[in-house]
Amino acid sequence: MNALRYPLDAPPAPGDVAEIADGVLWIRVPLPLRLDHVNAYAFDDGDGWTLVDTGFDTPPTREMWEAVLSGPLAGRPVRRVIGTHHHPDHIGLAGWFVEKHGAELVTTRTAFLFARMLRLEAHDRPPETQLAYWRACGMDAAIYDKRANERPYNSSDVVHAIPGSFRRIAEGDAIRIGGRDFEVHIGNGHAPEHATLWSSDGSLVIAGDQILSTISPNLGVYATEPEADPVGDWLESCTRLGRYAREGQLALSGHKLPFSGIGPRLAQMISGHVAALDRLEEALATPRRAAECFPFLFRRPIGESEYTLALGEAVAHLNHLTQTGRARRYREPGNEAWFWKRT
C-alpha cells in the first residue's frame, strides 16, 4: 500500500495556479531540462505575497511570472522571496523580484553565499580543476573530450544578479508566512544548509528538494569539494527531520506533486540509499572507477544529458563508503583515475 497521498493529481498549467492549501497557491514553473519543472508557492500575506522559490531567470519564465502576478496574484506586491536553497532552478529569479518588485530575499547564509559566488563565476571552457576531477572520476573519454571543448553550464546563464543583502534564516528560527507560524529546520546533502519550514499547526511543510515524493534528490560531489560526503549529510538530515514528521502534514516539495506521508517517505528514501550503498559495496569486490559504478546505483541507463549528475552521485556514494571504512580509494601508477575497492 502506498503511504503517500496527493491532494491534487495533476499540476497547474504554466501561468496558472492551484490552491493547494488555504491561502497557498501552487505554481508550476517550466524548466528546459530533463526534470522539466520546479514548484513555486505563493502565500497570501494579506497586503501582498510571499513566494517560495522562483525557477530560472529566462525570458519565458519572466513572461510566465508577469502573467501570474497580474492574473492569479491580482496585482498585489511580492513582499518576500524565500529561497529554500542555492540551486539556480530555485533561486534564479530571486534577484529579479528584489530589483523589480522590491521584495526581500529570505534564505540561509550558506545558500546566499553560494548563490552569489556561483553567479559571479563564469567560464568559456571548464577550468583545469574541473577537468582534473572528471579525469579522476574516470569520465567516459568521448564525453570528456566533448565537455572539455564546449562552454560549460554557468549559473550566470540562468540566475539574475543576487542582491547584496538578505534576511537570514537558521535552524530553530520562527517565521510567519501566510498567516501561519513556521519553524526552520535545516537539511543537508542535496544542498548545504537547505531550509525546510514546518508549520506549528502541523498542516504544512515547505520541503524544497530535501523531501520529494517520487524521486530522490540528487546527492552529488563536485570538483570544488571532491572529498565531500553528501550521502552521509543527507542520511543524517533525513533521520533528524523525521522527528518532526506528523500524520497529515502536506509537503510542499520542489518537484513532482505535493504530498502527505512525510515520515514514511523519509524512511523509504533512507532505505533506498542504504540498499544502494550495500549493492555498491558488494560490487567493489572488483576495483572500479566512479564511472563504472552506474549499474549498481541507477535502475535505468544513464544518457549523456544526465551523465555528469550521475557521475557526481556515484562519487558521493563511493566517498560515503570510504569515509565509513567500507571501501578504500587509491590510484594506480601512471593513471589519474581513482579506483575504489571494498575493505
The CATH number of whichever domain residue 99 belongs to comes to 3.60.15.10
pLDDT digits (tens, 9 = 90+) for 83-139: 999 999 999 999 999 999 999 999 999 999 999 999 999 999 999 999 999 999 999
Q: How confident is residue 2, by pLDDT bands cut at 50, 70 and 90? A: low
pLDDT digits (tens, 9 = 90+) for 127-175: 999 999 999 999 999 999 999 999 999 999 999 999 999 999 999 999 9
pLDDT digits (tens, 9 = 90+) for 189-240: 999 999 999 999 999 999 999 999 999 999 999 999 999 999 999 999 999 9
**Is 162 within a domain?**
yes
**Is 342 within a domain?**
no
Grid cell at residue 71 = 492574473
Task: Say what percent of the chain tops pLDDT 90.
Answer: 96
Give 107's contacts (C-beta < 8 A, 6+ positions apart). 82, 83, 84, 85, 86, 91, 94, 115, 166, 167, 168, 169, 195
Local structure of residue 114 (DSSP, 8 states):
H
- What distance in Å separates the CA atoms of residue 212 and residue 251, rounded to the nearest whole number? 8
C-alpha distances in Å from residue 149, one per residue of 49, 119, 311: 44, 22, 19
Q: What is the pLDDT of residue 220?
A: 97
**Is 57 within a domain?**
yes
Please say if the pLDDT value at position 29 is more than 50: yes
**Is 62 within a domain?**
yes
At residue 64, the 3 state secondary structure works out as helix
- What distance in Å separates the CA atoms of residue 318 and residue 290, rounded to the nearest whole number? 7
- What distance in Å separates the CA atoms of residue 302 and residue 90, rounded to the nearest whole number? 25
- What distance in Å separates the CA atoms of residue 116 and residue 106, rounded to the nearest whole number? 14
Beta-ladder partners of 24: 21, 43
Q: What is the pLDDT of residue 34?
A: 86
How many domains does one find in the chain?
1
Domain that holds residue 275: 18-124+157-282
Number of H helices, E strands in the chain: 10, 15
Grid cell at residue 264 = 514514511
Under 8 Å between Cβ of 11 and 2: no
Q: How confident is residue 1, by pLDDT bands cut at 50, 70 and 90? A: very low
Q: What is the pLDDT of residue 117?
A: 96
Task: Say what percent of the chain tops pLDDT 70.
Answer: 99
Side-chain half-sphere exposure of 98, counting CA atoms within 13 A: 22
**Is 326 within a domain?**
no
Under 8 Å between Cβ of 301 and 279: no
- What distance in Å separates the CA atoms of residue 157 and residue 138, rounded to the nearest whole number? 28
**Is 222 within a domain?**
yes
- What distance in Å separates the CA atoms of residue 71 and residue 17, rounded to the nearest whole number? 10
**Is 76 within a domain?**
yes
**Is 186 within a domain?**
yes
